[in-house]
Amino acid sequence: EAQVTQNPRYLITVTGKKLTVTCSQNMNHEYMSWYRQDPGLGLRQIYYSMNVEVTDKGDVPEGYKVSRKEKRNFPLILESPSPNQTSLYFCASTTFPLWDTQYFGPGTRLTVL
């Protein structure tokens, strides 16, 4: 089954404790991206990647890091999480350059205390 998986689905952590949210897709998609969703602000793109070893900043990259060492994986790293990073995070993937349907993961609800 074609899917995007994210882990963990829920995470409560404390300020400053490094964490990684994993994202994996099984559709051989070139393009992957991370979004955060906050009430009243909609979805905002954090980072995106057009292929292995190619990443670019989205609208709100501050405080986040990503890597794309393999085509299927695109982890999101918070080196020193802060409370303003409490949010609902989504990973997505699609083909490139066809710009077809974006497939979204189920979301990761992160709370930073």
Partner 1 sequence: SQQGEEDPQALSIQEGENATMNCSYKTSINNLQWYRQNSGRGLVHLILIRSNEREKHSGRLRVTLDTSKKSSSLLITASRAADTASYFCATTNAGGTSYGKLTFGQGTILTVHP
For residues 2-41, which are near partner 1 according to CB under 8 A?
31, 33, 35, 40-41
Dihedral angle, C-alpha 97, 61, 104, 12, nearest 10 °: 160
DSSP 57-89: E-S--TT-EE--SSSSB--EEESS--GGG-EEE
Binding residue for partner 1, selected from 20, 22, 45, 111, defined by CB under 8 A: 45
Under the binding rule (CB under 8 A), the answer on residue 106 touching partner 1 is yes
Under the binding rule (CB under 8 A), the answer on residue 105 touching partner 1 is yes
- The closest of 22, 19, 27 to 5, measured between CA atoms, is 22
Under the binding rule (CB under 8 A), the answer on residue 111 touching partner 1 is no
Q: For binding to partner 1 (CB under 8 A), which residues are involved?
A: 31, 33, 35, 40-45, 48, 50, 56, 58-59, 88, 90, 92, 96, 99-107, 109
